[in-house]
A and B are shown apart, each in its own frame.
Chain A
Amino acid sequence: MSAGPRTAAAEGLGLCLACHALTPCPPGRRVACRRCGAALALRKPHSLRRTGYYVVLGFLFLIPANLYPIMTILQFGRGEPSTIVGGVAKLWSQGLWGIATIVFVASVVVPLAKLFGLCLLLYSVHYQTELCPLNRTRLFRLVDFLGRWSMLDIFVVTLLVGLVHLGQVALVLPGLGALAFVATVIITLFAAQSFDPRLIWDAHSADEACDDNDSDEKPPHA
C-alpha cells in the first residue's frame, strides 16, 4: 500500500465522459475513446478559463434579467409589468408564502448561488487553497443539480402566455427580462458543464480526503 490509491491521469489514462471507458492518453492531448470514439483528454481542455468566461457573462446577463419585467399580466386592460422579484413580492402579499419561497429560491437564490459557487470553485482551484476537496466536490454537485430548476419562471411565463389570451378581459405578455433570464440560465448551465471537478483533487495527494484525515497519516508518537 506504499503507493496508495492513484488517479487515472497519473497512470496516463483518460476517462471518456460519455461511456466511461479508459483510454491511454498523453497529457495535454486529445485522443479518441477506444470504445465509443468520443474525443477525450485527461482533463477538460481550458476548463477554468472557459468556466470563468461563462460566469462573468452569467453575472452580466443577471442584471437586465432582474431590471426588466419578465411579464405583464393585464386584466381588463389594466396591470403593470412585473420583474422577477416583483412577482415574488406579489405572491407573498397574497399570502402564498410557500409558492413565493419556491419561486424566489428557483429564480433568485439558485442563479446567484450557482455563480458565486462556481467563483469559489474557480478561485480555490486556481490558487490551490486548502479548502476541503470533499466539500468542494459536494458544492459542485449541488451547483450542477440546482441549475436546471432556474428554468421554473420561464416555464411559468410560457404557460401563462399560452393560456391567458382573452383579449380585453385578460392578457399575459412576456417581457424583455425573460429573454435575459433565459440567457443567464443557459450560460450558467454551460458554465457548470465546462468546469472539470477532477481539478479540485489534482492538487491533493491521492489518498488524502480532508484535512481531518491528516492525523491518520502522521506517524504515531508513542
Chain B
Amino acid sequence: MDASPATPPLDQLHACPACDLLLAAQPLNRGQDACCPRCGEVVRSGRADSLNRAFWISSAGLALFAPAMGLPLLSMTLLGVHEDASLTEAIIALFQAGFPEVASVVAVSALIAPFLNLWLMFGVSWSLKRRYRPRILPSLLRLNHRIREWSMLEVFLLGILVSIIKLADMSELVVGLGLYCFIGLMLCTLLLESAVDEHDFWQALGGEARP
C-alpha cells in the first residue's frame, strides 16, 4: 500500500474472479470483453441493452417452457404399439421406477433450474425496466446466479440425440413438437448467458451506496 498511489474508489476497481488481480474499470463498447491480463479470464463483457434483451429473451423462453416440458419429445412405434414421452412424463416414470433421487436431480437440472432462471430474469428485468427496485431484488439476482449452473438443457438435448440413435434400430421413431420447443427453450437459456451481462443488472440496481 505504501508504494502505491492512492487507491481509487472501490466502484472504479474490479478484481479478476479467477486470479484476484486488481483492475481499473474501463468503459466497454458493445460486444467487447474485458479480459484479465494475467490469467485471461473474462472479467466483464460489454453488452448493449442487457435489461431489454433479458426481458425479451426470458419472455420467449417462458412462452416455450410449457410446450417444451409437456408436449412429447419423441414418439415410437413398435409392433403397432404407439408410445410417446414428454420430459415431465419421463421424470415421473423414473420416479415411479423406484429412483426418486435420480429423478429429483434430473428434475432440478432440466426443469426447475431453467424455470427459475427464466422467471428470475423476467421478473428482475421487468422491475428494473420500470425503475421499480424492491429490497428483494439483490437476493433474487443472487439466487439466479447460483441456480444458473444447475440448468443443463444443452446436455439434455445431447441426451435426446443419443436416445434417438439408441432407439433407431429398435423401433420407428418420430420427433415430436415438444422437441422443437425444447430446442427453442435451450437457445433462450444459452442466450441469457451470452447476450446479457449480469453486471448491467447490478449497476441498474444502483445499490453502490455504503462505502
| Contact bitstring A180-222, B, C-beta under 8 A = 1, else 0 | 0010011001000100011011100010010000000000000
Q: Are A5 and B22 in contact (CB under 8 A)?
A: yes
Interface bin, chain B? 35 or more
Q: Are B85 and A163 in contact (CB under 8 A)?
A: yes
Q: Are B15 and A7 in contact (CB under 8 A)?
A: yes
Q: Are A5 and B18 in contact (CB under 8 A)?
A: no
Q: Are B20 and A8 in contact (CB under 8 A)?
A: yes
Residues of B within 8 A of A137 (CB): 18-19, 39-41
Q: Are A159 and B160 in contact (CB under 8 A)?
A: yes
Residues of A within 8 A of B155 (CB): 148-149, 151-152, 155
Q: Which of A91, A102, A157 has the most CB of B within 10 A?
A: A157
Q: Which of A91, A153, A170 has the most CB of B within 10 A?
A: A170
Q: A7-B21, A36-B142, A182-B102 are in contact. Are A166 and B81 (CB under 8 A)?
A: yes
- Identify 19 new A-B residue pairs, CB closer than 8 A, beyond the known A5-B37, A157-B94, A179-B101: A6-B4, A8-B13, A8-B20, A8-B22, A9-B20, A15-B17, A19-B202, A21-B208, A34-B211, A35-B208, A99-B162, A137-B39, A152-B158, A154-B159, A155-B110, A173-B97, A189-B149, A193-B149, A206-B21
Q: Are A170 and B171 in contact (CB under 8 A)?
A: yes
Residues of A within 8 A of B76 (CB): 163-164
Interface positions of A from 35 to 51, Cβ below 8 Å from B: 35-38
Q: A21-B208, A36-B142, A36-B207 are in contact. Are A197 and B97 (CB under 8 A)?
A: no
Residues of B within 8 A of A148 (CB): 149, 152, 155
Q: Are A179 and B17 in contact (CB under 8 A)?
A: no
Residue of B89, B99, B109, B208 touching A179 (CB-CB under 8 A): B99
Interface positions of A from 1 to 32, Cβ below 8 Å from B: 2-3, 5-9, 11, 13, 15, 17-24
Q: Is B105 an interface residue (CB 8 A)?
A: yes
Residue of B83, B99, B106, B142 touching A155 (CB-CB under 8 A): B106
Q: A151-B152, A152-B158, A166-B83 are in contact. Are A159 and B74 (CB under 8 A)?
A: yes
Q: Are B94 and A21 in contact (CB under 8 A)?
A: no
Interface positions of B from 77 to 132, Cβ below 8 Å from A: 78-79, 81, 83-86, 89-94, 97-99, 101-103, 105-106, 109-110
Q: Is A78 an interface residue (CB 8 A)?
A: no
Residue of A96, A134, A153, A193 touching B40 (CB-CB under 8 A): A134
Q: A13-B10, A156-B166 are in contact. Are A162 and B156 (CB under 8 A)?
A: no
> Distance (Å) between the CB of B202 and the closest chain A CB?
5
Q: Are A164 and B105 in contact (CB under 8 A)?
A: no
Residues of A within 8 A of B205 (CB): 35
Q: Report the nearest A residue to B5, measured CB to CB.
A: A3
Q: Are B162 and A103 in contact (CB under 8 A)?
A: yes
How many pairs of A and B residues are in contact by the CB < 8 Å rule? 220
> Distance (Å) between the CB of B117 and the closest chain A CB?
14
Q: Are B19 and A20 in contact (CB under 8 A)?
A: no
Query: Can you show 13 pairs from A to B with CB atoms below 8 A apart?
Result: A5-B21, A19-B202, A36-B207, A154-B105, A155-B156, A157-B102, A159-B163, A162-B89, A164-B167, A165-B93, A170-B170, A198-B18, A201-B20
Q: Are A179 and B102 in contact (CB under 8 A)?
A: yes
> Distance (Å) between the CB of A91 and the closest chain B CB?
7
Q: Is A75 an interface residue (CB 8 A)?
A: yes
Q: Which of A2, A156, A200 has the most CB of B within 10 A?
A: A156
Q: Are B83 and A159 in contact (CB under 8 A)?
A: no
Residue of B15, B92, B94, B158 touching A15 (CB-CB under 8 A): B15
Interface positions of A from 130 to 168, Cβ below 8 Å from B: 133-134, 137, 140-141, 148-149, 151-166
Interface positions of B from 128 to 165, Cβ below 8 Å from A: 138-139, 141-142, 145-146, 149, 152, 155-156, 158-163, 165
Q: A15-B20, A35-B207, A151-B109 are in contact. Are A165 and B165 (CB under 8 A)?
A: no
